[in-house]
Amino acid sequence: MDFFKRLFQKTPDQGAIDIGSSHVKLAVVEKKKSGPAELLYFAVAPTPPMTIKDGSILDAQTLGDTIAGLLRANNIQSQKFKLLSAVSGQQVVIRPIPMTKMKPEEVKQAIRFEAERYLPYPVADAYVTGEIISPDIGDGRQMEVLLIAVPNEILEAAREVIKMSDVEPAGIDLEPLALQRALRLFLSEEQYNGTVVLVNCGASFSSINIFSAGRLKHNRTISVAGNSFTKAIGQSLNVSFDEAEKIKKEKGVIKVDGGAEDVAPTTQKIFNLVEPVLKDFVTEVQRSIDYYRSRNKDESIDLVVLSGGTAAFKNIESYLSKEFGVECVVADPFSNLNLSKVKGMTSSELRELAPASMVVLGLALQ
Ligand SMILES: Nc1ncnc2c1ncn2[C@@H]1O[C@H](COP(=O)(O)OP(=O)(O)OP(=O)(O)O)[C@@H](O)[C@H]1O
Ligand SMILES: [Mg+2]
């Protein structure tokens, strides 16, 4: 029965892929005219070793094979199927800059000249664009433009991986914009329109994004992320990376000062190992918040949302709430999706992967 249903079910034409350094995530979502969007396919595979290093793709063929494997396992074999992916990292520059007032259609040309002083690479080697985010910064002469720059090399590498998986690229999006779309899935209208700090803490990198009134206003990538915690455990206990990863996920709990719970000695020991990394993480996020507040004095931070696999670290949201003095929640993008069509995973298994699925779901919603 299931087989026939699958056979006659039309494969949708577009899906999304998030190629992380630790996991590759695939999602296909169908938007509905009314009611929640439906998640049709969702799959995750570990990223093969030595294929991505420091944010750069080293082995497009092996990554492409991994994606092709996920598509085959889910019976997605349509000739027309296309995949949308995202780029991110320290080389992707997204920042508000002041520019002399001009028409929106003139911005795209003029920004290439402006961009030079903000980019660590030549403008000629990058895709550069800009979008007016506020028509007047208050002096009557200048406006605020969101500068976006992605090195051509990064775009080409992203396209190459998709081609190696034997499907066509549907396009390339920016990770912060995908994250923003995914926020819509679980924040209230009021929360979404406030000032929200979204920290996507993956394995190699964390991106800090500040949205105000539904617009991206700040983006920064830092290297304190999941691997930093794993390395701290591995080095102190003198165990392999894989062993340390297992200890972190199974025994790691973040202790909150003043919390009532007495923790087991092993838990306390692991907490002591990860605490310095956690402190670095807090310092970096706080630095972004302070920078943003210094430029937007009339705004306060309403909410901190934590996503990425590291958001599953037990208690991390309570720790961060206390440190930042702001409500902090773990992203739950599956909460308002219809999950009944997804095969091979129970909804509780899916919910466990929720924070790590923000990017791929945001892409799939495009
Ligand atoms: N329960 C858990 N406790 C602590 N950390 C966890 C837990 N579950 C997953 N992680 C961590 O989440 C990270 C993976 O998250 P994610 O899938 O978002 O990364 P990625 O997108 O592959 O990496 P990146 O974007 O940095 O290239 C790993 O470092 C993993 O150890
Ligand atoms: Mg990631």
Atom 6 in ligand 1: residue holding the nearest Cα: 310
Find where tokens 């190696």 sit.
164
Query: How far does the centroid of ligand 2 lie from the alpha carbon of residue 266, in Å?
Result: 29
According to DSSP H, which parts of 55-205 are helical?
A: 60-73, 104-115, 152-164, 175-183, 189-192
Query: How far does the centroid of ligand 2 lie from the alpha carbon of residue 204, in Å?
Result: 8
CA-based nearest residue to 42, from 344, 337, 336, 310: 344
Q: Dump pLDDT digits (tens) for 135-163.
A: 998 888 999 999 999 999 999 999 999 99
Atom from ligand 1 closest to the CA of residue 25 = 17
Ligand nearest to the CA of 231: 1
| Cα distance between residue 338 and residue 361, in whole Å | 13
Atom 4 in ligand 1: residue holding the nearest Cα: 313
Q: Quick one: pLDDT at residue 3?
A: 54
Residue 61 makes CB contacts below 8 A (sequence gap 6+) with: 164
Atom from ligand 1 closest to the CA of residue 201 = 18
The 10 Å CB-count burial string (b at 16+, else e) for 174-189 is bbbbbbbbbbebbbee
Q: Quick one: pLDDT at residue 1?
A: 45
Q: Dump pLDDT digits (tens) for 13-36.
A: 999 999 999 999 999 999 999 999
Q: Quick one: pLDDT at residue 7?
A: 53
Find where tokens 């995908």 sit.
178
According to DSSP H, which parts of the chain are helical?
A: 2-8, 60-73, 104-115, 152-164, 175-183, 189-192, 226-237, 241-251, 265-295, 316-324, 347-352, 358-364
Q: Quick one: pLDDT at residue 9?
A: 58
Instruction: Report residues whose beta carbon is within 6 angstroms of any ligand 1 atom.
Output: 20-23, 202-205, 225-227, 230, 245, 248-249, 252, 308-310, 312-313, 356
Domains of the chain: 2-87+154-184+335-364 (3.30.420.40), 93-151 (3.30.1490.300), 226-329 (3.30.420.40)
- Enter the tokens of residue 161: 């991986």
Query: Position 327: which residue type?
Result: E
pLDDT under 50 in the chain at which residues?
1
Ligand nearest to the CA of 221: 1
- Enter the tokens of residue 94: 């997204």
Ligand nearest to the CA of 228: 1
Q: Quick one: pLDDT at residue 183?
A: 98
> What string of DSSP letters covers 163-206?
HHTTSEEEEEEEHHHHHHHHHTTTS-HHHHTSEEEEEEE-SS-E
Mutate to test the pocket of ligand 1, among 18, 22, 314, 363 (most ligand atoms within 8 A of CB): 22
Query: How far does the centroid of ligand 2 lie from the alpha carbon of residue 305, in Å?
Result: 15
